[in-house]
Structure 1
């Protein structure tokens, strides 16, 4: 395409316009935005049975017991293990998808920065979660068996640290990198909206005795990711870059 276009361009201005058009076509052809969103939605939904049925692993010794009742001050470490492994496997699957797409379309995709940052965020999430176990920013009640609500007063820096321990926030931050890699303004807007949604969800404290109390924190992000995957799949390019 480049040789034929260059021969038809009569002026430098026309040649520059042809190059810009080719660059735009290549960027559009490189995109596979729907697939990462779908993968993240799937691992978020799969997390539901992990949250509900995984036995609590008191590896940090935070649980306190009395006859007929046990209270643990941090989330189940099994959830942290799940998210760390699931995110790393998700990025491996995403990398494989983009490599396969590049070979099929004949257009390379610079996906490595996204995968590297995504894995780094997954590791950082695990590290921050463990750090918060021993250095809690949220107030710890003097009586762990008390049912009285605890007033939470954490500054912006504290909420930033807590956010880094959230897998849904880690996903949103990585999506910002994908938007930069794909030069995708629509994905950038979507990623910011997604981050706002998960941050608001994360700041909501649910007082419930139900063992399914966590569902909104997983179902809402999963729904946003599924809707995004469907929208970007409908908008994905249907033709290859013409040679």
Structure 2
């Protein structure tokens, strides 16, 4: 009787171990981490000509002109519109990638929460940016043509809020949701690192007169995303890579 009970417990442990192993294999087979990172890197790089050559539409009446000088304290609706549309289209492409992949492999991925949250973050990013235009955390100076229009009143909390309202941070928050969907610890660590970099980049105050002042804000996150896409594609399990 004792031997029979021990045998049953041993069999139960083996079955549990087998189920855990199969669950892990299914989760690995579901992962397609490299593709979202690549898509986000591409739309970040594509934003460069929009920032450089896109006209500033004074939709929110934040621009002031004096002679040949023009200072605008609000978000450019052209850039804001680009990011909102680009992010929504990116999540649509990611959803299509996962659906086709699931049909080909016969293993489904619960990507719907990620796509829904990602699209919602894109809308919230745009809404938050517009709200900050009409409710600025940093007082707009009476003379916007001063050398330092932000001044010492822009505290770290205000800069952090402006950083969190950036589209690059919205991408980072979406990556954390993807890490949860894919049960991917490496992506969680990567997502937290990317989120920190994006928040720092988005909260920086740049007073350079160059028309390319924004390049570091876009190139640094884009390079991080490209390296992440290459890394996750290169180091994925061999069984996944050959399917």
Distance 2:70 2:156 in 1: 30
Q: Secondary structure at the match of 1:145?
A: coil
Distance 1:90 1:220 in 2: 19
Q: CA deviation at 1:160?
A: 5.1
Q: CA deviation at 1:154?
A: 3.1
Residue of structure 2 in register with 1:3 after alignment: none
Residue 161 in structure 1 maps to residue 161 in structure 2:
yes
Deviates more, 1:130-139 or 1:68-77: 68-77
Is the Cα contact below 8 Å between 1:128 and 1:161 reproduced in 2? no
Q: CA deviation at 1:75?
A: 2.7
Distance 1:127 1:58 in 2: 17
Q: CA deviation at 1:152?
A: 4.1
Residue 226 in structure 1 maps to residue 226 in structure 2:
yes
Q: CA deviation at 1:205?
A: 1.8
Deviations 1:12-51 (A, max 9, x none): 1111111111000000000000000000000000000000
Q: Secondary structure at the match of 1:239?
A: helix
Residue 170 in structure 1 maps to residue 174 in structure 2:
no
Residue of structure 1 in register with 2:131 after alignment: 131
Q: Secondary structure at the match of 2:70?
A: strand
Distance 1:97 1:60 in 2: 37
Residue 48 in structure 1 maps to residue 48 in structure 2:
yes
Distance 2:33 2:115 in 1: 13
Residue 77 in structure 1 maps to residue 81 in structure 2:
no
Distance 1:208 1:163 in 2: 18
Distance 1:193 1:65 in 2: 40
Higher RCO, 1 vs 2 (CA within 8 Å, ≥6 residues apart): 1
Residue of structure 2 in register with 1:107 after alignment: 107
Is the Cα contact below 8 Å between 2:75 and 2:130 reproduced in 1? no
Is the Cα contact below 8 Å between 1:87 and 1:119 reproduced in 2? yes
Q: Secondary structure at the match of 2:145?
A: coil
Q: Secondary structure at the match of 1:131?
A: helix
Distance 2:200 2:116 in 1: 27
TM-score (norm 1): 0.90
- C-alpha RMSD over aligned residues: 1.4
Gaps of 5+ in 2: 1-9
Residue of structure 2 in register with 1:148 after alignment: 148
Q: CA deviation at 1:153?
A: 3.2
Residue of structure 2 in register with 1:15 after alignment: 15
